[in-house]
Amino acid sequence: MPNGISVKMLEVGHCTHPGFMVNPKLGIKPRAFPASVAVIRHPEHGVLLFDTGYHHSFFDATAQFPQKCYAIATPCHLHHDEHIVGQLASLAIDKETVSHVVLSHFHADHIAAVREFTHAQLHCHPAGLAQLRRKPVFQAIRRGYLSELLPAEQQQQCVFHQDGFTQRLSEILALDIDIDLWAKDLFGDQLLYLVDLPGHAAGQLGLLIRLEQQWLFLLADACWLVDNLRDGVNQHWLANIICDDRKAYKATLNVLRQCYHAASNVLFVPAHCSETLAPLKQQDWLR
């Protein structure tokens, strides 16, 4: 039964890391990690985005020391045709018509293009914004935050989601096992659910989307690759340095693994997994 929801997955730039950081079997060769953005059409609330990807503002923000350390640690690549505004235009979407942006967390590869959406409500967790503002600047950069990427005047667009995560994910998905993940119905219509995914970054949120025949679960950075869920592969301990809460990260990852193996009607989409994103990019609007 059609529910009016459709989703298009985009890649808005990418960064590079040695492969072993996310899977010890991948060696030291640099590997590209796409910055994914989900464009969502909602029957009542119009066009929404889940994250915004990279943007030229990232290069501006990291031009000088100490912010330049961020760009050195995570080299960013953004081709002209990958710019979010241009990709939206190719889908006949004007950026001014984007009514809502869900920010999974406040790391640069997820919020760099947010300045393009001055008319949208920015749905986020207040703990994430607090980390973006943290001082001293060296500590913020080490954790992956560049405060310059969210202009002060845009902070008033934020709609905070801290409370109301009272729906158990296993009940929403009608699973036979109990999954200790909690969700909040974003618009109260059982179509889009914010999911609390703590650990990687303060206040990290995922998004569970009800399609016609299946669910789409946008995991942000709760894991890097689908391998981390499917094969039980853990990222290298060096990758944990950026984690807001390593214990919570491991707990969230283990619960997601349970969910992955129990939920046959859910497509799990880590934000930076090429294996998952590449075929989705080639598809038309998912329904």
- pLDDT, tens digit, for every residue of 92-140? 999 999 999 999 999 999 999 999 999 999 999 999 999 998 778 888 8
Window from 15-24, 117-126, 248-257 with minimum mean pLDDT? 15-24
Residue 44: which of 214, 208, 190 has the closest Cα?
190
Residues 13-41, mean pLDDT to the nearest whole number = 87
pLDDT reading at 238 higher than 90: no
Per-residue exposure over 147-177, b if at least 16 CB sit within 10 Å of its own CB, e if not? bbbbeeebeebbeebeeebebebbebbebee
H helices, E strands: number in the chain: 10, 13
| pLDDT band per the 50, 70, 90 thresholds, residue 234 | confident
* Angstrom distance (rounded) from CA 77 to CA 65: 19
| Domains (range + CATH), the chain | 6-282 (3.60.15.10)
| Predicted local confidence at residue 125, as pLDDT | 98
Find the distance separating the first CA and the last CA of the chain, reported in whole Å. 10
